[in-house]
Structure formats: C-alpha cells, structure tokens
Amino acid sequence: MIEIKNLDFYYKRNHQVLKDITMNFRAGRITGLLGKNGVGKSTLLHLIAGLQFPVEGTVNVMGYIPHKRQLNFLQNIFLLNEEVPETTLSIAKFEKVNAVFYPAFSHEDFVKYLAEFEITELKERIDKLSFGTRKKVFISFALAVNTKLLLMDEPTNGLDIPTKATLRKILRLRMNDERLIIISTHQARDLQNILDSVVILNNENLLLNAADSEITQKLYFGIATGNESPDTVLYREPSVAGDQIVRLNTANEESNLDVELLFNAAFQSKELFAKTFNIK
C-alpha cells in the first residue's frame, strides 16, 4: 500500500530529519510508528499524506504520488493530527461540513463511535468541550470516514486510561485486509496488544520495520530465570514479578510482544538489535 524508497527530508541542510529511508507498509495491519520526540514521526506521516515533499527519494501511496493531492487519493486517506483543530461548529455541523469529502463516510459509525466514548449530544459546540472530549470527537470522525489509509499522530495524548482502552477496542474491530492504520506515538504502552507491525525511528534512521510475528520469532519477552547468557539479553527492567527481559529467542520459545520493552531494547542494545533484524 505504501512504498518508500531512499527518502531524504530536511527543513534546513544542517537539520536533516529523515535520511535514506526505504520501507514498505502493507494493508491489513495496524502499524505502530515509534520513536522519541523529534525523530521525524510526524514528518513521515505528513510526507505520506502529501503535506510535505521529499527532498530526495520517492513516496508512493496506493499508486499515487502524495504531494500531487489527486482527488481519488484524498478521498482514501485521512490524517488525524496531534493538535485538536479550533472550531466553533457543533459536532453535527462539523460532520455535515466535512463528511461530504469522504464517499465512504458513515453517519451511523460516527454516532456509534461517539457513543462508545460516552458522547451523545451532537448539538454541543466543539470549542465548549474539554480537551479530552474534543479529541474523542475528532477520533470518532477519523474512524467514521472509513478511508483505506488512516494516519493517527499521537492519538492517545490527552486521553484517560478507560478512553485509551476503548480506542484500542474500536481500532481492532475496524480492521480489515484492505485497510492500513499507522499510529505514531512516543507512548509505546498505549498500543499494547493491537499492533500487527512496528516501525521504530531514531535520529534520521530506521531502527526497525517488522511484523509482530517476526519480532517474537527473533526475540523473547518474559521474566528472567537467571540462566540467560548475558550475550543474548538486549534489555532488562526490574518489576514486582522479577526482572523483565528481552533476549534473543534462541530456542524458538513463544512469548507475547511487549511494545514498551521492545522500544527500550532497540535503544539500549542498538548493535545487537540491528544485527538481529539485519538493519544496516
């Protein structure tokens, strides 16, 4: 669905954001785009959406060149930015004004998602709502447009724990083989148990682009037994139940992907991590 080749992007020549990035994003997945603040996650989403132009290299999305902003492309992509838009419209009026641009938009879905977030009054002015409630409105709209590609930039910022759980449930239920959802966040724990693949960026470069099945085939996530070889351990973190570790999965053991531990392992043991996933 998305093919990126030799992508370079910088705002100034002495401030390169992305350097020689080559990777693909497949349909039928929820992909977590992880990285520390300022590594280019939002910039990459804007390049995919056509709001920024590559300095070098190419970005191809569903057969389109994003920055040409062709109608069929725009009707099949939605970018939910981290910032909440300023508007004095009511929820109902906002829907009426914006839904016409998306042929697959569903009013029924919009109302259903709002209800999941405990919002039932569509006559409320959006600017009169709390920040968290406004964010729920825009998340509900983003889901209801039913585009093939949905880009979400830090969607869980400002949400409480129950709302994050509701969002994870809705995202998983709305997935199908023709849709791709990319979620950018620096809060890896918020995406636990919903990701099909993970991308990690760091200081211009790509640290990881892998399906969850590949990750758990190569790495084991669990509690330390004390018998681990130090050469196989990428990350260790104390917990009440004992040290949580990420180590090489030399015995083909089954474990569940822990996104936060994976993220920490990628940065603590960069050389071993790169070798494990054949990253140059």
> Is residue 42 within 8 Å of 185, Cβ to Cβ?
no
Cα(110)–Cα(138) distance, integer angstroms: 10
pLDDT at 76: 96
Alpha carbon distances (Å) from 253 to 34, 46, 147, 221: 25, 39, 38, 10
Looking at per-residue pLDDT, the higher value among 84 and 143 belongs to: 143
Look at residue 270 and tell me whether its pLDDT is greater than 70.
yes
For 2-203, CATH number? Answer: 3.40.50.300
Domain(s) of CATH 3.40.50.300: residues in the chain: 2-203
The predicted model gives 43-61 an average pLDDT of 95
Q: What is the DSSP string of 76-116?
A: TEEEE-SSPPP---BHHHHHHHHGGG-TT--HHHHHHHHHH
Confidence of residue 280 (pLDDT cuts 50, 70, 90): low
Question: pTM for this structure?
Answer: 0.92
pLDDT at 36: 85
